[in-house]
Amino acid sequence: MGILEDLKKEADNSRLEREQAELRQQDLERIYREGICPSMMRIHNYLFELVEQLGLVNWPVEVSFDFPGIGRIDNLAQTNYRLRIDSHKEPKLINLSFECAAPEEKSYSVMPKSVGDDACQFLSTQKVMFSDWAIKDANQEIIGIVIKCKLRVWVGLAFQADIANEGIRVVSYNFEGRGESSFLASHQSIDEQWLDRLGQYVLRKNDSFARLDISDDQLNKLRSMLEREKQRMEHLSIENRHGSNTRDGLLLRLGKLFKRE
């Protein structure tokens, strides 16, 4: 095979890779337009009605939360629901947030001081107004902190269009404990039952929303999707290796062509 043939083959490989990337992008755009986008709107519309109804009725929701340094606090009232969406035409992000607040102000003794500092830092991230003073031992060494405040933590759920993975990523923060967790939901799974479980989860009637069972049909679809992606990546890997070998051979021929005797 001559150098011209090498150049032609590498050009063909590059064109094939570009065409595959363009086809994949078009496929993802179609999946978003026909599947993910409508499912995102269904989630938003359901949550909009849920928040609206919660604003009309007094539906008490009490939760517990483990505050750093302070410990587990029960009887926090879940209120002040807020719903945001980035676009009503092409939504990529939906965010439901609310606060869980203690009924009254109290004082909490936290030791040692390093743990008290962590507690104060977390309260600051939650925009909690508090006052604090040192706890000292007989030698006037600071051994802890007294924190006085009305405890509150902001909690929420975010729904992100994960187009590359053909689904919707559900992210919870401070919901089942401090921190963030997430899982990927298939856009085909967003039906009435899924939305009802979401509502129960928000109102603390169901703690298994993030671990929903996947139907056999959905599981097979996910497996097929993963298998297609695996084959595509293997194909690209082979093409890249072949292209690398071709380039090495091309450089060798070019070196020989311009080598001085």
Tens of pLDDT, residues 220-231? 665 576 677 667
3 state DSSP class of 247: helix
The answer to whether residue 115 is domain-embedded is no
Position 174 in a domain: yes
**Is the per-residue pLDDT at 46 higher than 70?**
yes
Q: Which domain holds residue 52?
A: 28-104+150-219
Position 209 in a domain = yes
Query: How much is the pLDDT for 207?
Result: 74
**Cα 156 to Cα 74: distance, rounded to the nearest angstrom:** 18
pLDDT of residue 91 exceeding 50, the answer is: yes
181-210: per-residue pLDDT in tens?
889 999 999 999 999 999 999 999 987 675
What is the average pLDDT across 49-59?
A: 92
Cα separation, 83 vs 200, whole angstroms: 17
**68: in domain:** yes
Give a yes or no: residue 65 inside a domain.
yes
The answer to whether the pTM exceeds 0.75 is: no
Number of independent structural domains in the chain: 1
Q: What percent of the chain has pLDDT over 70?
A: 78
In a domain, 59, yes or no: yes
If pLDDT is split at 50, 70 and 90, which confidence band does 94 have? very high
Tokens standing for 137? Answer: 């031992």
The verdict on residue 215 lying in a domain is yes
Flag whether 3 is in a domain: no
Strands (E), the chain: 62-67, 71-85, 93-101, 106-110, 130-136, 142-149, 152-162, 167-173, 180-186
